[in-house]
Structure 1
């Protein structure tokens, strides 16, 4: 059994206990402390922090996420850092309210209740929890699904605002050769069991803010933002929100009926579908607010006052990588930008 050490996070003054064989981030999750994080694989820099005192050893990570000079200065990625003494860590990015409202990560079993096609390459999946009372999450978070027959896991954002009926909903992009997603085309069936671990993620609505909301997503990025919209509708929110959704063609637009219902329920909600290719000749009648172009370009063209907004981004790496420098160039403060950047696994993309 590995030794355990005390970790103190500054400037919030929170302490946890961590074993040497678990990462700092996993130790925090286990104790219900929701630190800022992203991919959990050492590929992004969302969980970067500075070690003020103590002995840390790092697992493998990308130098794009943590440059060598940053490591030399004392920075670490908490998803790859192991404590080998008591530690004092200074958090770089944090939301104290979110940290203290964290939920413990649990492993639970569910069964597939429904699999259906939303488009030619996106599936809707509903999972029925065997013990709904033991699983809680914040809208916008994600879970890990254990891939049957393997030791691998894949992460998916929940599209629901709560497991009120004992079920979780997902919008999942199917990739050729995808370790889990390709199984949705026929190998997995209603009634099959799946092990889930979570919740994870910091992509949650900051309800204390009254700034105008701007959402942007592409593909299966619809899932987490749909959860936030459903949360707003359930709470009776009248906060202004505009949602830019990027797709290639009209056939790639999904959840149209659900979005239309949310437009009716939310008094200040506007939906802007963005097609990167072209609309059919009759598109104004079907989608009068629609736009042509990449979602990031439409966002820049239509939102001159983004610096006054809270911006939420969800989608594949190319979209997020294009959006972040754009927002920076437009003067949007970093603490008003929240994003969920999907991790795509090489050779078995999910």
Structure 2
């Protein structure tokens, strides 16, 4: 049995136990402590913290998330860090309301109700909750879906649904050629089958009490959490201005346009712009269309981006470009929200 150590987080004055066979982030999840996190693979820097005292080891990670000089100074990514002594760690990013008040991480069983193509490479996967009876999450969060027949391996996907109907879940999934889970969606998964899920994860959620305008930037299957935020905003009657920019290659890659229009009609100050990077042919009726990558369109359309809250979700290159844009526009880091996760193989 592995040894157990105590970790103290400052400046929030929270203590917890961690064993030597789990990362500090996983230990926090296990004990209901919701530290800031994103990819959980050492790639995004959302969980970057500073070790004030104690013996820790950080495993392989992206130097984009934590470079060698930072690591030498004592900075770590909690998703890749193990404790081998009692430690004191300074949290650099945290949400006091979320720390002890987030939804618990659960293992749930679901039943597939439908697999519906939305575009040439994106499908809607709808599931009914089987057990336990309740699943708590927030609009915009994501879950791990366990690969059938290989339960140790998972793929991370964002929920498109909201807590108003927690027993029926929807994921929007991009199918990559040669992808393990993509192949199952095409060949072996069908209505009536079961899928095991763990979650929820992520902090891509609308924060209570905030008042700034919201800029949503999505691309590909990044539609899922953005659609969840829109559905949630409509349900609660959110009055903040919302501007949604969605990046696609062509008009054929757009979907859920009717629902976006319907949701927008229930919001007092909402605009939607489809950003087409490759072809402007056959634009959909009634939809504002701009040519170019989504980040280029936002750069031109949002001169005061620093006076908004920015929510980003899409392919990693899009998220990287959007983060660079936010930095160039001097958007404070506590006004930028994103989940940047990648699968160990193709999704």
TM-score (norm 1): 0.95
- Hey, what does 1:279 align to over in structure 2? 280
Matched, 1:349 2:330: no
Residue in 2 that maps onto 1:5: 5
Cα offset, 1:61, TM superposition: 2.2
Q: Is the 8 A contact 2:108 2:198 kept in 1?
A: yes
Displacement, 1:342? 3.5
2:96 & 2:166 partners in 1: Cα distance?
30
Distance between the aligned counterparts of 2:7 and 2:104, measured in 1? 17
Following TM superposition, by how much is the alpha carbon of 1:20 offset from its aligned partner in structure 2, in angstroms?
Answer: 1.3
In the alignment, structure 1 residue 15 sits paired with structure 2 residue 15: yes
Deviations 1:258-302 (A, max 9, x none): 112102221211111111122235x3x713422111100000111
Does residue 1:326 correspond to 2:313, yes or no? no
Q: Give the Å deviation of 1:100.
A: 2.7
Residues paired across the two proteins, number = 346
What are structure 2's unaligned runs of at least 5 residues? Answer: none
Q: CA deviation at 1:149?
A: 1.7
- Answering whether residue 338 of structure 2 is matched by residue 335 of structure 1, we say no
Alignment-derived partner of residue 94 in structure 2: 94
Partner of 1:77 in structure 2?
77
Distance 1:273 1:307, change over 3 A: same
1:299 & 1:211 partners in 2: Cα distance? 17
Deviation of the 1:162 alpha carbon? 1.4
2:118 aligned residue: 118
**1:192-271 → structure 2 map (5 Å cutoff):** 192-271=193-272
Instruction: State the secondary structure of the residue aligned to 1:262.
Output: helix
SS at match of 1:6: strand
TM-score normalized by the length of structure 2: 0.96
Structure 1 spans left out of the alignment, 5+ residues? none
CA contact (8 A) 2:156 2:343 kept: no
Contact 1:315 1:342 in 2 (8 A): no
SS of the residue aligned with 2:180?
coil
Following superposition, the deviation at residue 132 of structure 1 comes to 5.3
Which stretch of the first structure deviates more once superposed, 325-334 or 336-345? Answer: 336-345
In 2: Cα distance, 1:257 partner to 1:330 partner:
32
Give the Cα separation in 2 of the matches to 1:63 and 1:332.
23
Give 2:301's aligned residue. 302
Q: Distance in 2 between matches of 1:165 and 1:257?
A: 23
